[in-house]
Structure 1
């Protein structure tokens, strides 16, 4: 039951009058500011977007890359707003049309060569999303370094070092990255970053398979290559998944790997050791 000394909007306690805060503010000249709620911008995962940009163009259908739809949609909407992508292609599928649109955007920024390969880079992705989305889980190849007399990027070097740790022995390169036209049998896969050939001299068949497995575990699309497949000696070909310096041909190899193929022009079935698909960043997080 309400106590008799309590009144609506006013209370008397020990002879003192207590004025509600709203009334005090109005009588004292103080003003209150209305709260303004600003809608948070969508978040684009660069990891998911880059992965979709490698896989989706190689699909025979419009299946979306798991976990990438919202990020890809935000990127496509931003491309559409710049007049680079028709509305019909704003669908969360980073296919060949979206790749071409993104490459056009990169060129509009003055980028050429690998910097305009259609794979989102941190700078271009951030600029595209200004006032539209924020970018999370950024990735990049890092600087160029020397390994076994060849050039690779820092991300690839770190991946190779971890594969060596898993194996317990050193891997030696037969070919590195950033070697445009250097090997006509490579079909352009070594033109950009993230791609290496590993020597298998003296390795047994079991050891070659073990190396390919370790490379896949840390985030490479890796296959043992033999002379019956092309004009080359035995070696292991490895493409670093989601290296943003990948040539177009190497991007296609990553897509084929995720879709169960061998990374060759014949798009035959994957003949390598089966391990869960994983990028270098996912491996580092223990995913």
Structure 2
């Protein structure tokens, strides 16, 4: 076994200092993107300032980076990704030249990485993938994988009747289909609609059975892929409602769907 003399050890440490090599104690902290995005989905719709479990440390690092750019007052560096942090993050996205849904205040991989330059590194990155189609409707590959997983879990065959990235094209949806992560599924031919909704929730969707009596639409299943970083603000609000036990409709009614442990797609895959 090779050992260093005291002199050699001092030389090695001095060399590391001169070359700028970081010691383990100096390593940059890590921001967990999954945790930050989950908080950004949930926190703005809470009635209090509570911190989303497992997200506080990562959110604080993001908030501190925003504060360092004079975009967020220091008193809001608290681990709660509320509306004030959303606004600050939106201003940061706009400073990078983003517009529209790319500057909604919902963190994406690119902007989180850029924000962390010199202050933190990023882990557990979320990728929604490229656009694809299901039943002729546009979705991203993350959403498609989630739908297929729910099909396997429920034993049902789903038909997508409305997809994602359909800006202004689904009037009754109130903008939820403008970005990514939103799908409507037909209830025709389903042997057990409740089991279908339950399976969708179990793989990471905020999903509800929408009936004709609830709005100007035919009966269908409406599903929002939690933590899809392409989703519209309206879809984000529905994800927040789901976490808060509401039905995602304008009446802010109680969630009428099957109760499950609320998870993201990434959490489901690990579990």
What is the TM-score normalised by the length of structure 2? 0.92
Q: How many residues align?
A: 260
1:282 aligns with 2:267: yes
- Equivalent residue in structure 1 for 2:40, among 45, 53, 59: 53
Partners of 2:156 and 2:190 within 8 A in 1: no
Structure 2: runs of 5 or more not aligned = 18-22
Q: What corresponds to 1:133 in structure 2?
A: 120
1:84 aligns with 2:63: no
Structure 1: runs of 5 or more not aligned = 1-19
- Equivalent residue in structure 1 for 2:256, among 267, 271, 278: 271
Cα deviation, residue 167, structure 1: 2.1
Runs (4 or more) in structure 1 with deviation over 4 Å come to none
Which structure has the larger Rg over C-alpha atoms? Answer: 1
Cα deviation, residue 67, structure 1: 0.6
SS in 1 for 2:49: coil
1:251 aligns with 2:236: yes
Q: What corresponds to 2:94 in structure 1?
A: 107
What is the TM-score normalised by the length of structure 1? 0.87
Q: 1:1-287 to 2 correspondence within 5 Å?
A: 21=5, 32-34=11-13, 37=23, 38-203=25-190, 207-286=192-271
Structure 1 CA distance for aligned equivalents of residues 227 and 45 of structure 2: 15
Cα deviation, residue 50, structure 1: 0.2
Structure 1 CA distance for aligned equivalents of residues 183 and 82 of structure 2: 26
Structure 1 CA distance for aligned equivalents of residues 45 and 214 of structure 2: 21
Cα deviation, residue 202, structure 1: 3.5
SS in 1 for 2:63: helix
Structure 2 CA distance for aligned equivalents of residues 217 and 261 of structure 1: 17
Structure 2 CA distance for aligned equivalents of residues 254 and 101 of structure 1: 21
Q: Which structure: greater helix fraction?
A: 2
Cα 1:270–1:31, aligned 2, differ >3 Å: closer, same or farther?
closer
